[in-house]
Amino acid sequence: MASNHVLYESGTQLAMHLPMTHDAMPVGVPSDLYFHVVEQSTIATSITDLKANIIYANNAFTRVTGYEADEVIGKNESILSDHNTPKMVYQALWGRLQQKKTWNGVLVNRRKDGTRYLADVTIAPVLNADGEVTHYLGMHRDVTDMHRLEQQVLNQKTLIESVINLAPMAIAVLNTEGRIELDNLEYKALMSDSRGGEPARLILDALKKQHGGRAVGRDFNAMEVCIEMSYGRKARWYACSGTWFKESDERAESFFERANADHLLLVASDITDMKAQQDVVRSNAMRAILAKQELIQSLREVLSGAAFQLQGPLNVMGAVVQMLKQREEPGGCTSSMIEALDQALDTGHETVAMLEACKPAEPVEDVSSVDLNELLRDVISISGERIQQLGVVLDWLPETDLPLMQGRAWKLRGAFKQLVDNALDALERTEGRHRELRVRTESGDGMIKVHICDSGPGIPEDQRRRIFEPFFTTKRDESASGMGLPTCQNVISEHSGMIWVENSVLGGVCLRLQFSNHADSYGDGI
Ligand code: FAD
């Protein structure tokens, strides 16, 4: 087609005169050269009079239509027409020609043998030197195969789009710049619901965070990502998979030098309900483990405390026996007393040894990298029911990007649970007042800090120093052992941390914890 356009067209009007009109030939171009060019052109070419009666048809016309030139000369071009082409198309065609303009379009044509084909037709008016139309030049190509291919591609695209739109998961295809090139209805719905905008970006950012800040450049599977939702709706969880694939570059400049473009197929399935069920199971399991751990810990502390309490008087008794022995005179009356005291001392030491031996063994737990936000989130989730029952307003303010630290997750979880329980106990004692619990994490200067503050009744100044002493309790409740905070303090100390109490702006107290997040800072005293 391109060569014909160069030869014949000038703007919208055909500049070429018929091959036989010598007077209008460009200088230096023999007139029969025009004839041979047209005759041998691979485009089906015909020339008609103003009523579309054919006066010339080239070899390609015969190849495409099946009609020999002498069969069509004198016949109208409508010999090729098929009723599948709407009338309005011909009207548009003739409308353009009457304006002396070239028409281009697709017609359904019939060959001599009756078979149909799609013709990409260009018809141009041929003007004489006075600018009057004397003839029409028709050029057409059989584009049936190309159309079939186009339709197949379109059908496949429609099929793929229907399938991905019906899929119950969000699907998107991204290019290397992160631009969405294809997405489905679920993805669009997620896009309008998610607070942070483009879900693919949120997912990839979350995955990057999970990869320690490195971009995800390879395939990934079933990675769980939480996406915040707008309009006060709960965050939703997605299991995300990504597959990188290469697509051929369709641009003209890549025709000879094949280039591939990388794309990421991102699939995100909503697993919020499954996560919620898992959370219930996990919370129950965690509650059971923490209760057992708490029991073991308090038993250990109580037995240690009891042994310690007993050891004091035993030490005094030992000193008295020593004194009596030094002062004893032969045949004196103190020997039977010393004997009785010795026996009592032995029994006392045996009891202390027995108490120590009765201490249940501490559960073995390895040191690993722990995320305090995650541990606190666990504790809040376990305490969720109680928080709701007490009508407590919870401010959970985790620092995003809180560094990890080395520690024993279950021990720390247990300590946090104790502190949250204490705060809730305190809040339970406040009648008719606003109940608020604030749990906050922060980091800086190599430290990780946790603040657990409440709007409860607070702790009187004179008792503050004593709350970490074993057996000290401000609770009237008989079940309170007074071992919670000392146990907590032990756990925090084992993690080279500190715990102290301060007044809270909420009205109650703030338990403040501080840990070092250096890898070598984990205390090895346990
Ligand atoms: P027609 O009765 O021929 O025409 C249909 C409509 O076109 C009518 O509304 C009529 O008013 C209008 N019309 C027809 N002739 C003229 C005219 N001379 N001036 C103004 N309006 C007119 N058709 C094909 O189907 N396939 C082709 O490959 C093809 N190639 C062509 C090549 C050339 C160079 C020209 C000039 C025309 C070509 N045509 C082609 C158009 C063809 O001439 C017919 O118009 C068309 O095939 C419709 O034929 P028809 O018998 O169904 O209706």
Using CA atoms, how far apart are residues 45 and 139, in angstroms rounded to an integer? 4
164 with 171: CB under 8 angstroms?
Answer: yes
- Percent of the chain past pLDDT 90, that is, above it, reads 52
Query: What pLDDT does residue 480 have?
Result: 58
Which strand ranges, in their side-by-side order, compose the sheet holding 180-183? Answer: 180-183, 170-175, 260-270, 236-248, 220-227
- Percent of the chain past pLDDT 70, that is, above it, reads 88
Domain ranges, ordered by start, for the chain? 2-146, 167-247+259-270, 276-358, 368-521
Select the more confidently predicted residue: 55 or 363.
55
What is the model's pTM?
A: 0.57
Per-residue pLDDT tens over the stretch 387-441: 999 999 999 999 988 899 999 999 999 999 999 999 999 999 888 789 999 999 9
Query: What pLDDT does residue 298 have?
Result: 77
Name the residue of 90, 96, 104 whose CB sits within 8 Å of the most ligand 1 atoms, as the mutation to test its pocket.
Answer: 90
167-247+259-270 and 368-521 agree in CATH topology: no
220 with 204: CB under 8 angstroms?
Answer: no
Q: Classify 332 as helix, strand or coil.
A: coil
Would you say residue 196 has pLDDT above 70?
A: no
Residue nearest (by alpha carbon) to ligand 1 atom 9: 91
Kindly report the backbone phi and psi dihedral angles of residue 521, in degrees, each rounded to the nearest multiple of 5, phi listed first. -90, 0
Centre a 10 Å sphere on the Cβ of residue 109 and count the other Cβ atoms it contains. 24
Place 2 in a pLDDT band, splitting at 50, 70 and 90: very low
Distance in Å, CA 467 to ligand 1 centroid = 103
Select the more confidently predicted residue: 438 or 194.
438
Name the residue of 78, 120, 137 whose CB sits within 8 Å of the most ligand 1 atoms, as the mutation to test its pocket.
Answer: 78
Name the residue of 72, 85, 94 whose CB sits within 8 Å of the most ligand 1 atoms, as the mutation to test its pocket.
Answer: 94
The dihedral sign for the CA sequence 238, 242, 247, 251: positive
Distance in Å, CA 93 to ligand 1 centroid = 8
Instruction: Name which CATH class applies to 167-247+259-270.
Output: alpha beta
- Residue 525's alpha-carbon distances to 370, 483, 521, in angstroms, are 18, 20, 12
Number of the ligand 1 atom closest to the C-alpha atom of 121:
28
Per-residue pLDDT tens over the stretch 255-310: 888 788 889 999 999 999 998 898 888 888 888 888 888 888 778 878 887 888 88
Would you say residue 376 has pLDDT above 60?
A: yes
Centre a 10 Å sphere on the Cβ of residue 104 and count the other Cβ atoms it contains. 14
Query: What pLDDT does residue 226 have?
Result: 84
Q: What is the mean pLDDT of residues 89-110?
A: 97
Per CATH, which fold does 368-521 belong to? Answer: Heat Shock Protein 90 (3.30.565)
Cβ < 6 A, ligand 1 pocket: 46, 48, 51-52, 76-78, 80-81, 85, 90-91, 94, 107, 109, 119, 121, 123, 136, 138, 140
379 with 423: CB under 8 angstroms?
Answer: no
Q: Which two tokens stand for residue 320?
A: 């008295």
CATH of domain 2-146: 3.30.450.20
Number of the ligand 1 atom closest to the C-alpha atom of 85:
25
CB burial string 300-327: b at 16+ within 10 A, e below: bbbbbbbbeeeeeebeeebeebeebeee
Select the more confidently predicted residue: 510 or 256.
510
Per-residue pLDDT tens over the stretch 431-487: 878 999 999 999 998 999 999 999 999 988 888 778 887 766 766 565 556 678 888
Q: Angle of helix 372-389 relative to helix 272-327, nearest 10 degrees?
A: 100
Residue nearest (by alpha carbon) to ligand 1 atom 18: 51
Query: What pLDDT does residue 57 have?
Result: 97
Query: What pLDDT does residue 22 have?
Result: 40
Select the more confidently predicted residue: 80 or 366.
80
Query: What pLDDT does residue 4 have?
Result: 32
